[in-house]
Structure 1
Amino acid sequence: MKSFLTAMACAAALFATSATAQDVADMNDLEYAHIAYTADNIDIRYAHLALALSTNPAIHEFANTMIRDHTAVNEAALGLLDKLGASAQDNEFSQTLNTNADKIIDGFVQLRGAEFDAAYAENELAYHRAVNDLVENTMIPNIENDEVRALFQQGLEIFKAHEGHAEMMAKALTE
Structure 2
Amino acid sequence: MKITMLHAVALLGAVLVQGPAEAESPADLNDLQIAHVAYVADTIDIRYAHLALALSQTPEIRDFAQTMIRDHSAVNEQALALLKKLNAEPQDNFLSQSLAQGADEKIDELSRLRGPAFDAAYAENELAYHQAVNDLVENAFIPNIENAEVKTLFEAGLKIFQAHQQHASAMVEQVKQ
Instruction: Give the TM-score normalised by the residue count of structure 2.
Output: 0.92
- Give the alignment partner of residue 49 of structure 2, picking from 47, 50, 72: 47
The root-mean-square deviation of aligned C-alpha atoms, in Å, is: 1.6
- Whole-Å separation in 1 of the counterparts to 2:75 and 2:15: 27
**Whole-Å Cα distance in 2 between the matches of residues 57 and 48 of structure 1?**
14
Q: Which position in structure 2 is the counterpart of 1:78? A: 80
CA distance in 2, matches of 1:40, 1:12: 18
Give the aligned residue type for 2:135: D
- Give the aligned partner of residue 20 of structure 2: none
Tell me the percent identity: 59
- Counterpart amino acid of 1:67? I
1:22 Cα offset (Å): 6.7
Aligned to 1:136: 138
3-state SS of paired residue (1:18): helix
Q: Counterpart of 2:152? A: 150
Secondary structure of 2:90's aligned partner? coil
**Contact 1:38/1:97 (CA < 8 Å) preserved in 2?**
yes
Quote the Cα distance in structure 2 between the aligned partners of 1:13 and 1:79.
Answer: 29
Distance 2:117 2:79 in 1: 35
Give unmatched runs, 5+ long, in structure 2: 18-22
Alignment partner of 1:19 is 2:21: no
Which residue matches 2:112? 110
- CA distance in 1 between counterparts of 2:49 and 2:15 reads 27
1:93 matched to 2:95? The reply is yes
Counterpart code for 1:13: A
- SS of the equivalent of 2:57 reads coil
Partners of 2:6 and 2:146 lie apart in 1 by 30
Q: CA deviation at 1:174?
A: 1.3
Rounded Cα–Cα distance in structure 2 between residues aligned with 1:81 and 1:172 = 39
Secondary structure of 1:111's counterpart equals: coil
**Paired residues of 1:30 and 1:87 also in contact (CA < 8 A):** yes
Distance apart, 1:10 and its partner CA: 2.4
SS in 2 for 1:87: coil
d(CA) in 2 for partners of 1:117, 1:55: 9
Return 65-74 or 15-24, whichever deviates more: 15-24
AA at the equivalent of 2:129: Y
CA deviation vs aligned residue, 1:30-82 (integer Å, no higher than 9, x gap):
00000000000000000000000000011000000000000000000000000
